[in-house]
Amino acid sequence: MFGISKRGDRYLRTLMIHGARASLGKLGASRIPAKLKTDARNLVGIIGSDTTKTRTYCEILDLSAQLGREKDSKKAKALSQKIDQLQKQLGPEFLAVSSGLQHLDLNSPDGREIILIIGSLNQSCPD
């Protein structure tokens, strides 16, 4: 492997490094949805087994719906801040899953599946 050493072919070395990075990036990206699905299932179990967290989750849904309809920017900001506070009350698991969803195409099969997993909590909320 003399051709790939520091003294060897610089172009060949660069190609191999870029190829390895690309392969590792795809490998890591394929693991993200699987971990996120597992994390979402755990989150549903945590929230679903705690009545206080379930109420908090339902309140977030209600406030999010209000936020979507709100025209006044000051009221929208207040609603957004309240939602942020409530999300923190749901714990680090909720924040981690929320963060992971921001990096996932929600229209992909994995994204839709994760949304369905989390959406199962909606059945616990009053209409």
Q: In this predicted structure, what is the pLDDT of residue 48?
A: 95
- Residues 6+ away with beta carbon under 8 Å from 2: 8
Mean pLDDT by 10 residues, the chain (127 residues): 52 59 48 87 95 94 90 92 94 90 87 92 86
Is 20 inside any structural domain? no
Q: How many CB atoms lie within 10 A of CB 9?
A: 13
Does the residue 98 lie in any domain? yes
The answer to whether residue 101 is domain-embedded is: yes
| The pLDDT value given to residue 24 | 43
Domain of residue 37 covers 32-124
| Total of domains in the chain | 1
Does 76 reside within a domain?
A: yes
Query: Does 12 reside within a domain?
Result: no
